[in-house]
């Protein structure tokens, strides 16, 4: 399970839902959906969340494009949710140094 993702609270749940239910076929499309969800949440995010989400949004496109050719099956989507845990951990480290 994507524990780091869900530990983000509301935005984590929304991102998890978007990862699992998006109509995207290719990684760039799914990354766009993820970044759109982040951007919609930023209006209510506190400063600490904004820094973390900025770093996360910066990593999503490259990471998905590097690893996946297609993202339209459930197994891949579950793998992506686990990858998001790694990206969130990196974003937290970068946010600490910000």
pLDDT one digit per residue (tens) for the chain, 98 residues: 678 899 999 999 999 999 999 999 999 999 999 999 999 999 999 999 999 999 999 999 999 999 999 999 999 999 999 999 999 999 999 888 87
DSSP string, 21-69: H----SHHHHHHHHHHHHHHHTTT--HHHHHHHHHHHHHHHHHHHHH-S
Question: How far is the C-alpha of 56 from the C-alpha of 21, rounded, in Å?
Answer: 20
pLDDT reported for residue 97: 86
**What is the structure's pLDDT at 64?**
97
pLDDT recorded at residue 46: 94
Q: What is the pLDDT of residue 2?
A: 73
Number of domains in the chain: 1
Domain that holds residue 74: 3-96
């Amino acid at each position: 399970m994507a524990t780091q993702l869900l530990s983000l609270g509301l935005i984590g749940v929304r991102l998890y839902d978007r990862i699992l239910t998006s109509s995207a076929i290719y990684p760039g499309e799914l990354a766009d959906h993820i970044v759109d969800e982040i951007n919609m949440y930023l209006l209510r995010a506190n400063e600490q969340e904004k820094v973390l989400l900025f770093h996360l949004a910066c990593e999503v496109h490259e990471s998905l494009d590097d690893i996946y050719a297609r993202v339209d099956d459930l197994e891949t989507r579950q793998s992506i949710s686990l990858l998001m845990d790694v990206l969130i951990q990196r974003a937290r480290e970068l946010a600490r140094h910000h």
